[in-house]
Every structure is written in structure tokens, then in C-alpha cells.
Structure 1
């Protein structure tokens, strides 16, 4: 039989009694409410469906302190990661929330009431202690520590929950299963020994070999249970990853494996996280759990060293193996032996045997450049999906962001560049001129610093969406302030290429070229806060190209921009 849940009873909080559920639904509509963050939503779903058994709500201060300090709940039950509801004190005061209050928790996606929290505690966390005790270091290079300091609000709210509605998902509904549903599936399939596999990355042939090896060693079946909640910033989106998992499932022996998704918000907490993952898989009915090398590791700390040792997570899970009541299956990294066409744990490879491997960095390089990915590393079906999600540079979008004074020539450069890119072909080209955006998107804005920043942010948003869609975008606002430009760079760089071009035409030339006479009106005091006259222009110090139309022709400037794009593979042959 599959293991009993952690703590002995699966804490599935969903109510099957329709009158009671209807009464709670009606009450939820009358109560003060808060809208959950993405991480809180993930945590709530797993509390409500029993994935976080024995938790029945968000931790009180006593529970939080006990978990942080002792890796246990106050009653002694093993629990590794603090699960809390953080809300700004000002918001709580505005809502009139105090101990004893009932509070509706709403879904951020559709505003549906999901649960009612009976507040039993309001407290302030010790962030430094949590960072050190739970994640091993008070180092904001760790994503969970960074989140703790920059994303959690000032007050933690503890209390038990009553379920109102389950979060509504619209993706991969057939393979989103609660612990009760997974346990029922195991029963239906007559699975009594189940090895669970945790992943937040695409699976390749080594992962398939590892899980098959684990199942055969333990005479068990395999539950592939990938995380589809929050993972590490920069990870591949879960839609792409799930398509990969679906493509790899037919590669397992018939009847050996099942795929089920886990809406978990990972903390990348290494050893503590591995214990937490084992508890969750126990709640889902698994009897065995694979813990691999650097399980849930976040990478390098601020000193450039790994946060955790390669097998530190295995050691901590094994320390608690008797209490966990789920058998740990420790695995070392597998490597490929080309002479025998097989994968083998690195510690079992005979000395002198030829091995091959492709690192994550090398895989990303091959995807980016279109270089071949051999079948010994990954299946063609998987590579196809990854290539679709990671098209080569000449299929990706980019933005050329020209900044400079009014009448500096940036609009003429932008128009000429648009012509050159249209001539090049291969993608649509959009032109966002400063005056056009002012008329079409920002007509209500004035010219204060705040309003200028809002205007630039709007341009950045439109440009990032065009870039994400694979288009070429040319933006040419004045954008006088460095901070606003940096925010735009960060936003667009997540979607594709970004090139900052500073059109550094001298002010006196700009004044001379200004046929509309707005500079003269500003000099005469008729216009206030005009960039270059009585408001500063902060010249960028990180421009990809600096151009001056008094020294270089527009055609040459466009050519130099084209060369930048060709250098990075966005246009032309590499």
C-alpha cells in the first residue's frame, strides 16, 4: 500500500456537503478580502487539497518559529519550510483585521473566493533568522532570500482555513490531480510501490534512464510530478516543460509511469527543500522519492560558490528517513558512455572509460545557435519542442531604442532603419516615435519627471510585447532619464534583444535643426521643463552605439546598427 499521509491523516479541506459549501460561499462574499500573490496562491492550493498535510492553514508565530528553528511543528511533526500569509499592516488596518477576524482569500486571476481564513495570529518575521536557518545564508543571491526581503509584506497572518472553491486552472486540467486523486489512481492501477520524481526542468534521456533505473531497483512504478508553480527566475516556462514531459512519457516501458503536475512554489532551498518535497510526495501517496545531485539548488552565492554541497540534500533527507516514512532513492549524476550506448552513474564508471555530457549552458547555446543536439542526449521529440520555444536569433524579436534630444535626428534614423529592416525581411517591423506615442497612448500626460517616466514605461511595455512576438521594434523617444531607460532595458531584455542607441547630436545643432521653434520658446520661458534647456538630459553611459549626425551620415548610422544586429544573429547569416 502507498504510504499514509504525513501526520497520519490527509488534510483535504474541500467540503463535499453542498449546503455547507453554499453557506461558506455566501459568507465569503460579505467578508473583507485580500487578493493572493502567485506564491500564496500555490501555497493555498496545496494546503486546501492536502498536499501540505498536516497543515490546515498558514503558520502562526509559534509554528513559524518552531519550523524555522527546529524543522518541526510545535507538536514535533517534521516540517521543513515555513508557509505563511504575508500582508501589509496598513492593508490589514484598513480592512479592520485583528485576531478573531474572518478574511476571504481571493484568486488573483479571476477574483474568485478560494478560502476563508480565521485569523489567530498577527506577527512580524525575523527575516535574517529565516534566511540563515532555512536557506543557509543571509545572502540575497539566493532567490528565496531575495524574495523574503523584497517581496514579502511586513505582517504575517496565521490561522486555519476553510475551503470555498478550488483554484480554476485552464491548462493541462487532465493531469492536474489532488493527493486524493493521485492516491485513487494508484489504487485503480494496483500500484503499491511508487517512485516519485521531482523536476522543474525539461527532461532528457538521462532523466528517463535515471527514473527507469530507480523503478527497477525498487520494483516500483514511476510518478513523474513536475513543478508548475513558481520556480527559479529564468527557468523555462511550464507550458514548454509540460509539452516535453508529455513527449517523453511514451519512452517509458508500457504501464511503468504516470505524469501528474504539482502547483508548488519552489523556494530553491536545497536540503530543507528536499525534506519538504519528500513530505509532499508522501502526501500524494508515493512510497519512494528520488533525491539527486544538488536537489533544488539555486546555483552560486554572492561569492561565486555553490550555496549547497552536491549531496547535502540527500544527507538531510536520509537523516530524517525514519520520520518521513518514505524511502529515499539517492542518485548521483548520470553520464553517457558512447561505446556501449548507455547511461551510468558517474561513481560507477570504470576508470578510463570514454564519457560524454552536455551541460545546461551548452544546451542553451545549441538551442540559441541552432547547433545539433545528439539523440544520445535527448529525444528528437523533446528537441523539437525546445527549439520551438527557443527559436534561433534570426527568428527572435528585438528592440532598437533611440534616445536623444528633440531634433537630434533620432526620428530620421528610426525611419531609415525601418526601411532597412523591411528590406531585410523575415519579421514585421514596428516604429514607435515619441510624438506618435504622445498622441496615441499618452495624450493625458504632461511633462513632469513622473509623467515622462510613465510615457517611457508605456513605450517599453509595447516594445516588449512586440519583441516577445518576434517583431522588430524601433522606438525613438527623448527618454531623458537613465532610471527609466534602465527599466525598459530590463523589461525588453527578458523578451528578446535590446539595443540602446544614444543620438548625441550637440544641443546647439538641435536648436538649429528645430524648424518648429520649440527650443526658442523654451529659451524665452514660454515652455517650462523643456529637456536640454531647463530640464536635464541624462546621457546614457551604457549605450550600445553613440551616434552624432554632425559627424556621421544617417545611412552610416543605420549601417552600424545593422552590423550590431548581424553580429548577434538577429539578421543575416551567422
Structure 2
């Protein structure tokens, strides 16, 4: 059944001119009022979703008896991002039609863009549509899920469309095939409490409160410790032609589960906190995202842009090979180096955001960090240090050059 809304009504066919005009005027007025709310870009879909119950509502809900469904770390990330509106316009886990639409067309049934499906999974045969279940995570009661649909997904189709491959060498294909359970559940949720984490994650509403009104906000996404080249990259992004003079950067790392060999989120968080206090740059805002990485390349870029728009960002830095990954069998990349950039550029106008291409920066003996093209043109001497070399030096206690990594970050990594 298609939910009635103004968009559907306007597209149903001939209407009297007066009714059509009134509805269009109402929609235009609503969009205009939302667009400059607090001087920031409006959330995706026009409204910042908040699914948290009030203290009194939570107290009443907890009096009831529910079946309990235990959540994985990835589930907990999805639940939190749904509850706080980071996944706006979603107001719960996707139903089957929305799931299929996102898988095959990267769009919700409403027509709005969306990168990856958001679903709850289970093997339980005793949980079915019509049930209300308590979502439990590490002895915390996170939310009540009103199950509206339960189905067996075609995970081969999901893998092929979302990740471009069915190979188990891809971490997300391996995840949906071997970690996610047999059934997917769709339905609305009501939040009781947010997951307790070693790092504090601000909600979109909280981040928006501290962003400058009427200025551009450039989002920088990462899942690794920030090194010198990263810092140079996101500070220089403020000099891009399409960024306002008084714009700021929101450094917004993901601290949820990623690839198996990535540094744990709790450790990455410590490096970010240390660096934030060290640089103390008023043009840089720091916050953390409890997001579970899928390494989905183009689809992941779209997902991150939607999330960052909900946090108040107008621009998004797209790095070379963003959210890419390699086969653990032959080392081949699953995506081309510019696939994510190209796809993001196709979507950015509809998202009302702008992309900022990642500069290919290199460190030179003569002039420090410059673009690779400039270094080549001037014949400068480039210094290189691979990630593999860095990890080896880190383990062996060798001195890490400060042009590559901040000493404070290295100290945290070594202590961990």
C-alpha cells in the first residue's frame, strides 16, 4: 500500500487547478521554511527524525513484557543512527519493498536517494509480523521494534547490486552471507536508550547546534587514525572555490565496526581526541559517528553524504578510492579509484550538496606538502611511507617521521 502524502497526491492525475495550486504552494512554503532552519541545510527529506521515547514513555514501555532480540555491534549502530535521525528520512527498519528498491535502484519507494538497506536480521522462527520485540545490546534495552514484515532476502542479489560483486572476498558480502541471519525484519522502532560507548557520539541535532549559521560545512569522513596528509587535506578543503570564506570542516570519523584488520574504534577515538586538543583549530569541528562500515565504494559514498547532510553538512570530501577494498585472495581492487567520486557527483545535485575532490598530496623535501602534479612539474623530491611500512615501524618501535604522522597519534597507537 502506498502511503498517502502530498507528493503522491500531486502525481495521481488531473486535479482541479485550485487544489493543485494550493498543495504546491503549501509544499513550496514548507520547503522554503525548512531550507534555512537555523541557517543550516535542511535534513534529507525535510525533517530530522527523532525516534527516542520521552522518559515517561520509556518508563511505561518498560512495564510491558516483550520477546527479546539480541543485537550485534552492527545492529546497535543502525539502531542508534535510526533513533537520532542520522538515517533521516527513515523512521524504522525498511520494509521489503523499500529494501528491494534501495538494493536495485539506490532509492526508497518515495523516490529519495538512499545508499544501502537498513534492516534488522534474525534466525528466530518465533518472531513474526505483529510482534513487538525488545532490542537488547550488551544488557542494554535500546528500543522496541514493532515488526511489520519478515522475509527471506535474496542475498546474492543484495551483494551484486549493493557491492558490485558476489565474492566472499568482499568484506560486506562476507558480512551479509556469514554474519547476518536468515530473515530480515522491517518495522517502526521507539528508542529507550542509546548504546553506551567509550566515545561520545553527538546526535545530528547536537552537532547542528554548534555549526555556524549560513556558512558552508565540509564533512571529512575517515575510518583510520588521522595523519599529516589527512590534516592537510581537510584544512585545504576550506580553500576550495565552492566553499564559503567562513566555512568550517566537520571531522566526522566512523567509530563502529569496519574491516577485520582495521584499528579498533575505541583506539581510533583516542587518537582523534588527542589530535583535536593538540591542533585547537576553530575552523575544525570534531564529532564521532557510530556507523558500521560496509566498504561499499560508490554506494557507501552516497550513504555517507546523506548522513552528513542530516548532521548539517553542505559539502563532502570524496577521497580517491573512498570506502574501497581489496580482495584478500589476489589483492585486486573491487572498485575503480574514481568510482565513488563519479557516483557522488551524479547524486550531489539531487542531494543539494557539493563534493570537494580529495587532493592528491605528497610530501616533498623542498616544500612540504604539495599536490603530486605540482611536485612532478617542479621536479621536487617526494618522500613516501606506505601503510605497511608504518605499521611495521610502529610495532618495532622505530621513530616515525613527523611529516607522516603526528607524534601524539603515534604515542596513542603504541600505547594501545
Instruction: Output the aligned Cα RMSD.
Output: 1.6
CA–CA distance in 1 between the matches of 2:409 and 2:280? 18
Q: Which has the higher contact order (CA 8 A, sep 6+)?
A: 2
Deviation string 1:444-491 (CA, Å, 9 cap, x unpaired) is: xxxxxxxxxxxxxxxxxxxxxxxxxxxxxxxxxxxxxxxxxxxxxxxx
| 1:313-462 equivalence runs, <5 A | 313-341=340-368, 343-351=369-377, 352-389=379-416
Give the alignment partner of residue 241 of structure 1, picking from 259, 263, 268. Answer: 268
Q: TM-score, normalized by length of structure 2?
A: 0.86
Q: Which residue matches 1:167?
A: 195
Q: Which residue matches 1:134?
A: 162
Sort the Cα spacing of 1:332 and 1:309 in 2 relative to 1 into closer, same or farther, 3 A: farther
Residues 1:122 and 2:150 are matched in the alignment:
yes
Q: Which residue matches 2:202?
A: 177
Q: Which residue matches 1:259?
A: 286
Deviation at 1:191, TM superposition (A): 7.0
Uncovered stretches (5+) of structure 2, i.e. residues with no partner: 1-38
Sort the Cα spacing of 1:41 and 1:34 in 2 relative to 1 into closer, same or farther, 3 A: same
SS in 1 for 2:349: helix
Q: Which residue matches 1:22?
A: 59
Q: Which residue matches 1:199?
A: 222
SS in 1 for 2:323: coil
Q: TM-score, normalized by length of structure 1?
A: 0.63
Larger Rg: 1
Aligned residue pair count: 373
CA–CA distance in 1 between the matches of 2:89 and 2:74? 19
Q: Which residue matches 1:57?
A: 92
CA–CA distance in 2 between the matches of 1:147 and 1:44? 18
Give the alignment partner of residue 305 of structure 1, picking from 319, 327, 332. Answer: 332
Deviation at 1:31, TM superposition (A): 1.2
The answer to whether the 8 Å contact 2:217/2:314 transfers is yes
Uncovered stretches (5+) of structure 1, i.e. residues with no partner: 390-574
CA–CA distance in 1 between the matches of 2:303 and 2:374? 29
Q: Which residue matches 1:92?
A: 125
SS in 1 for 2:342: helix
The answer to whether the 8 Å contact 1:274/1:295 transfers is yes
Deviation at 1:86, TM superposition (A): 0.8
Deviation string 1:3-30 (CA, Å, 9 cap, x unpaired) is: 11111111111133x4333222323xx0
